[in-house]
């Protein structure tokens, strides 16, 4: 099927064309430059920029694919969860296109779309598997039996992993988004230099990152902002604590659920230390791990189109009644 996907749940305005499970064209308009000076996403600025960009990204993705709007078999759009103003722009654009073109439209769950990204590169990755979704807004472990068959096993009780990285990066005076700048600063740092807590030990499958973030904030307040090697050590030690939590709970969940495959998705899945440590620890446990390529970890519309294609092929059409839902549950 020829499917156009639109993503606008947070600070990326993106469109992509997927044809029979393969990516044919995509455009991501990042808002990093707009939000950088605030050290985080400003919802009102995000939605206003989506309005400015959405038509252009759709045109660019279509042009790259060599298809025209009339050639499409259907459309997909992120319906939630996310920032309501941002979501509404994508949903409105997709509904308008679907209605004027008389094509079916599917509203997809943003996190399920993240989990689908890998299928553009590894179409035969088998079900069931464990999904670890780590982004700026979410940190969840899910059991995935198939498309539309996802069961939540555990989640963060407070901050998301990416949010903790972003906040501590801000306190350290590093660039935005924080995950990437912490990773870069951590290179050449000693991950064992400082001792940060590993929250929620024990058997529960939930995460908690706010205590870890607070312990970093308290240390910075007490000792001042580090520079040079001390800064690299701080970043490496903090990143290590976040990664250790993710690795430990993911492998625990795989054991508890009896799953031999793990799929990692979301912006933080781009983290090189997470890739390295989870890959090695999983191999020791006999568990296979896949990550999407770095370009498909962050928000994009290829994952939206790829997931929508599966629903459209099953005959689903959400039609003009589709609405954005900021708190859309699994």
Among ligand KG4, Zn ion, none, residue 90 binds (CB under 5-8 Å by kind): none
CB distance 17 to 62 below 8 Å: yes
CB distance 39 to 23 below 8 Å: no
Q: How many CB atoms lie within 10 A of CB 330?
A: 13
Q: What is the nearest approach in angstroms of ligand KG4 to the Cβ of residue 58?
A: 20
- Euclidean distance between CA atoms 16 and 78, whole angstroms: 12
Q: Given the complex with ligand KG4, which of 97 and 302 has the nearer CB atom?
A: 302
Q: Which residues within the stretch 53-92 sit at the binding site for Zn ion (CB under 5 A)?
A: none
Q: Given the complex with ligand KG4, which of 104 and 156 has the nearer CB atom?
A: 156
Q: What is the nearest approach in angstroms of Zn ion to the Cβ of residue 9?
A: 7
Q: What is the nearest approach in angstroms of ligand KG4 to the Cβ of residue 86?
A: 11
Strands (E), the chain: 2-7, 12-19, 22-30, 74-80, 105-109, 129-134, 139-146, 149-155, 261-265, 288-290
Interface ranges with ligand KG4 (CB under 6 A): 10, 135-137, 162, 165-166, 177-180, 183, 266-268, 270-271, 298-299
Q: Given the complex with ligand KG4, which of 198 and 275 has the nearer CB atom?
A: 275
Q: Given the complex with ligand KG4, which of 19 and 270 has the nearer CB atom?
A: 270
Among Zn ion, ligand KG4, none, residue 235 binds (CB under 5-8 Å by kind): none
CB distance 309 to 66 below 8 Å: no
Q: What is the nearest approach in angstroms of Zn ion to the Cβ of residue 299?
A: 4
Q: Given the complex with Zn ion, which of 41 and 58 has the nearer CB atom?
A: 41
Q: Given the complex with ligand KG4, which of 312 and 328 has the nearer CB atom?
A: 328
Q: Given the complex with Zn ion, which of 78 and 239 has the nearer CB atom?
A: 78
Does position 250 interact with Zn ion (CB under 5 A)? The reply is no
Among Zn ion, ligand KG4, none, residue 28 binds (CB under 5-8 Å by kind): none
Q: Within 13 A of 186's CA, how many CA atoms are on the CB side?
A: 26
Of the residues 7, 299, 309, 318, which one makes contact with Zn ion according to CB under 5 A: 299
Q: Which residues within the stretch 116-135 sit at the binding site for Zn ion (CB under 5 A)?
A: 135
- Euclidean distance between CA atoms 148 and 49, whole angstroms: 31
Instruction: Compute the Cα dihedral for 305, 42, 155, 194 and give only its sign.
Output: positive
Q: What is the nearest approach in angstroms of ligand KG4 to the Cβ of residue 151?
A: 20
Q: What is the nearest approach in angstroms of ligand KG4 to the Cβ of residue 42?
A: 15
CB distance 139 to 156 below 8 Å: yes
Among ligand KG4, Zn ion, none, residue 240 binds (CB under 5-8 Å by kind): none
Across 190-217, b (16+ Cβ under 10 Å) vs e yields ebeebebeebbeeeebbbbbebbbebbe
Q: Which residues within the stretch 134-153 sit at the binding site for Zn ion (CB under 5 A)?
A: 135
How many residues belong to the chain? 330
- Euclidean distance between CA atoms 253 and 82, whole angstroms: 26
Give whole-number Cα distances, 317 to 44, 107, 206, 306, in Å: 30, 9, 35, 15
Among Zn ion, ligand KG4, none, residue 80 binds (CB under 5-8 Å by kind): none
Q: Given the complex with Zn ion, which of 135 and 183 has the nearer CB atom?
A: 135
Q: In what order do the strands lie in the sheet with 288-290?
A: 149-155, 139-146, 129-134, 261-265, 288-290
- Contact footprint for Zn ion (CB under 5 A): 135, 299
């Amino acid at each position: 099927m020829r499917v156009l996907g639109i993503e606008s749940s947070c600070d990326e305005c993106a469109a992509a064309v997927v044809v029979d499970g393969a990516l044919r064209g995509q455009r991501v308009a990042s808002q990093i430059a707009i939000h950088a000076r605030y050290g985080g996403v400003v919802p009102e600025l995000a939605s206003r920029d989506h309005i400015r960009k959405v038509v252009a990204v759709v045109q660019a993705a279509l042009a790259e694919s060599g298809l025209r709007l009339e050639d499409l078999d259907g459309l997909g759009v992120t319906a939630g969860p996310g920032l309501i103003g941002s979501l509404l722009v994508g949903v409105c654009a997709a509904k308008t296109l679907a209605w004027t073109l008389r094509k079916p439209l599917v509203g997809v769950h943003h996190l399920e779309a993240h989990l689908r990204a890998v299928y553009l590169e590894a179409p035969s990755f088998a079900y069931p598997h464990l999904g670890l979704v780590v982004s700026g807004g979410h940190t969840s472990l899910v059991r995935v039996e198939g498309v539309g068959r996802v069961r939540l096993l555990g989640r963060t009780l407070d901050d998301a992993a990416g949010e903790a990285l972003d906040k501590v990066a801000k306190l350290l005076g590093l660039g935005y988004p924080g995950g990437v700048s912490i990773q870069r600063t951590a290179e050449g740092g000693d991950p064992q230099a400082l001792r940060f807590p590993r929250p929620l030990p024990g058997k529960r499958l939930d995460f908690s990152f706010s205590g870890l973030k607070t312990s970093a904030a308290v240390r910075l307040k007490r000792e001042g902002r580090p520079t040079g090697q001390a800064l690299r050590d701080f970043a490496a030690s903090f990143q290590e604590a976040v990664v250790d939590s993710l690795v430990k709970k993911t492998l625990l969940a795989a054991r508890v659920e009896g799953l031999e495959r793990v799929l990692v998705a979301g912006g933080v899945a781009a983290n090189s230390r997470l890739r390295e440590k989870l890959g090695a620890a999983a191999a020791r446990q006999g568990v296979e791990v896949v990550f999407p390529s770095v370009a498909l970890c962050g928000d994009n519309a290829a994952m939206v189109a790829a997931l929508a294609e599966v629903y459209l092929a099953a005959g689903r059409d959400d039609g003009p009644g589709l609405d954005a839902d900021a708190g859309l549950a699994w």
